[in-house]
Structure 1
Amino acid sequence: MSYRQPLLQAPHKFPIATASDDAVNNGNKKQLVTNSFTNWRRYFSRKKDSNTYIKLDDDTKRSDKDEAVGVLRLFQFADRLDFVLMLLALCLMLLHTVCILASLVLFGRVTGLFAIQSFGDNCYDQRQNSTIAIKNNNTYPEGIELNIFNNVSSHEMHHNSDAVLLSTLATSMSSFRKKVMDIVYWLFIIGAVEFLLGSIENFLWTISTKRQICRMSVSIFRSLVQR
């Protein structure tokens, strides 16, 4: 606002009322009185609503205890293909269990072979060494004369026994390695079969479950639309 603009403006001229405007105002007043009278009349003539509950056809009696659901009702949305898939998955599950038990048995056999190789052969070697030491002992009882030929034969027996011991040890190690590697190969084969069975089993269960969930969702949607 500039300093030259006057603070008090000139009064506006009121419009001159015409006959048509008076008629419109009178009509509005009458309508307002009529509406207020109608509202008061509705208020005093209002009836009290009964709080009775009307049962519908879909309503069922509910109890505090939850209903027990049977096992067969869990598969009410399954069709023949779903039952076939679940049956195949159960058969694969049984085979998977058999493979697990077989792997445990083979692992126990490997552990037993290592235990026998570690303790059994050592005991056998100690017994052989003690026997050889007794045979090769040069101290004889009194009254027995030593002969040079007997001494030579005892040395020959000592060397021959060492050679036999080394040959038997090499043979036992080769047979032990062969037995262990055979079991290890079987363990690898059984592990691969277990992985394959577990993958197929999981795939079949997933397909069957998703098919049933899809039908369940469609049924719920239809029931909601009908209501």
Structure 2
Amino acid sequence: MSYRQPLLQASHKFPIATASDDAVNNGNKKQLVTNSFTNWRRYFSRKKDSNTYIKLDDDTKRSDKDEAVDVLRLFQFADRLDFVLMLLALCLMLFHTVCILASLVLFGRVTGLFAIQSFGDNCYDQRQNSIIAIKNNNTYPEGIELNIFNNVSSHEMHHNSDAVLLSTLATSMSSFRKKVMDIVYWLFIIGAVEFLLGSIENFLWTISTKRQICRMSVSIFRSLVQR
């Protein structure tokens, strides 16, 4: 409506309230007041909830002891494929245990070889050296004339014995190195096999466990939906 338009001509454009509309509005107001009063009365007249347990009709008496569960019930969500995967994982676990025991035995053999090389052979060599040194000692008692030929032969025998000891020492070191390296190679092979078996075993257990957990989750969801 513009400010130049007469008021009487524009008055018929506004809605005119009738008696029925007034009655409906009054009824809504009364209903709103009644609802608010009812809510307030419920709020102030509310009783405190008691924490007492109310037994239902279908409740049964149960003891405090935990109920024993059968072993097979732990795998009630497993199918044939899951049982096959778990059986393979158990077989791999046995092979893994055998590899661990074999590595311990080989490590003990290496330790024994080092102990024998450090103490056994050295003691034997020291004993041989001491015996040769006593036999080839050039200090003689007084009053005994030395023969130059005997002296020369004793020196030659002394040098020959040193050469024999050096050759035997080199031979023993080469054989010791060969024995140790053979065992070390076997330890590397067994370690690689252990790593492979452990990885496959972990993979199989993970696959089987996730499959069973998935079926368990689906079963729980279906039971909740049915309720």
**TM-score strictly above 0.5:** yes
Instruction: Using the TM superposition, name which of 43-52 and 127-136 deviates more.
Output: 43-52
SS at match of 1:9: helix
Kindly tell me: are residues 219 and 17 of structure 1, through their superposed partners in 2, closer, same or farther at Cα, counting changes over 3 Å?
closer
Kindly tell me: are residues 4 and 66 of structure 1, through their superposed partners in 2, closer, same or farther at Cα, counting changes over 3 Å?
farther
> What is the CA-CA distance between 1:42 and the residue it aligns to?
15
Looking at structure 2, the residues matched to 57 and 22 of structure 1 have their Cα atoms a distance apart, in angstroms, of 54
Looking at structure 1, the residues matched to 91 and 52 of structure 2 have their Cα atoms a distance apart, in angstroms, of 58
Kindly tell me: are residues 39 and 101 of structure 1, through their superposed partners in 2, closer, same or farther at Cα, counting changes over 3 Å?
closer
> What is the CA-CA distance between 1:121 and the residue it aligns to?
1.7
> What is the CA-CA distance between 1:188 and the residue it aligns to?
0.3
> What is the CA-CA distance between 1:66 and the residue it aligns to?
2.4
Instruction: Using the TM superposition, name which of 18-27 and 209-218 deviates more.
Output: 18-27
Kindly tell me: are residues 23 and 124 of structure 1, through their superposed partners in 2, closer, same or farther at Cα, counting changes over 3 Å?
closer
Looking at structure 1, the residues matched to 122 and 44 of structure 2 have their Cα atoms a distance apart, in angstroms, of 112
Instruction: Using the TM superposition, name which of 93-102 and 10-19 deviates more.
Output: 10-19
Percent sequence identity over matched residues? Answer: 98
Instruction: Within 5 Å, give how 1:1-227 maps onto structure 2.
Output: 62-140=62-140, 145-227=145-227
Kindly tell me: are residues 209 and 119 of structure 1, through their superposed partners in 2, closer, same or farther at Cα, counting changes over 3 Å?
same
Looking at structure 1, the residues matched to 44 and 163 of structure 2 have their Cα atoms a distance apart, in angstroms, of 127
> What is the CA-CA distance between 1:23 and the residue it aligns to?
8.0
When normalised by structure 2's length, the TM-score is 0.74
**How much is the aligned-residue C-alpha RMSD, in angstroms?**
6.2
Kindly tell me: are residues 22 and 182 of structure 1, through their superposed partners in 2, closer, same or farther at Cα, counting changes over 3 Å?
closer
When normalised by structure 1's length, the TM-score is 0.74
Looking at structure 1, the residues matched to 152 and 84 of structure 2 have their Cα atoms a distance apart, in angstroms, of 83
Q: Which runs of 5+ in 1 are unaligned?
A: none
Kindly tell me: are residues 170 and 58 of structure 1, through their superposed partners in 2, closer, same or farther at Cα, counting changes over 3 Å?
farther
Kindly tell me: are residues 25 and 200 of structure 1, through their superposed partners in 2, closer, same or farther at Cα, counting changes over 3 Å?
closer
Kindly tell me: are residues 185 and 26 of structure 1, through their superposed partners in 2, closer, same or farther at Cα, counting changes over 3 Å?
closer
Kindly tell me: are residues 155 and 83 of structure 1, through their superposed partners in 2, closer, same or farther at Cα, counting changes over 3 Å?
same
> What is the CA-CA distance between 1:64 and the residue it aligns to?
3.1
Q: How many residues align?
A: 227
Kindly tell me: are residues 59 and 170 of structure 1, through their superposed partners in 2, closer, same or farther at Cα, counting changes over 3 Å?
same
Kindly tell me: are residues 143 and 33 of structure 1, through their superposed partners in 2, closer, same or farther at Cα, counting changes over 3 Å?
closer
Kindly tell me: are residues 223 and 58 of structure 1, through their superposed partners in 2, closer, same or farther at Cα, counting changes over 3 Å?
farther
> What is the CA-CA distance between 1:74 and the residue it aligns to?
0.3
Q: Which runs of 5+ in 2 are unaligned?
A: none
Kindly tell me: are residues 225 and 21 of structure 1, through their superposed partners in 2, closer, same or farther at Cα, counting changes over 3 Å?
closer
Instruction: Using the TM superposition, name which of 126-135 and 5-14 deviates more.
Output: 5-14
Q: 1:72-101 deviations in whole A, cap 9, x for unaligned?
A: 110001111100000000000000000001
Kindly tell me: are residues 216 and 100 of structure 1, through their superposed partners in 2, closer, same or farther at Cα, counting changes over 3 Å?
same
> What is the CA-CA distance between 1:137 and the residue it aligns to?
1.0
Looking at structure 2, the residues matched to 44 and 139 of structure 1 have their Cα atoms a distance apart, in angstroms, of 124
SS at match of 2:12: coil
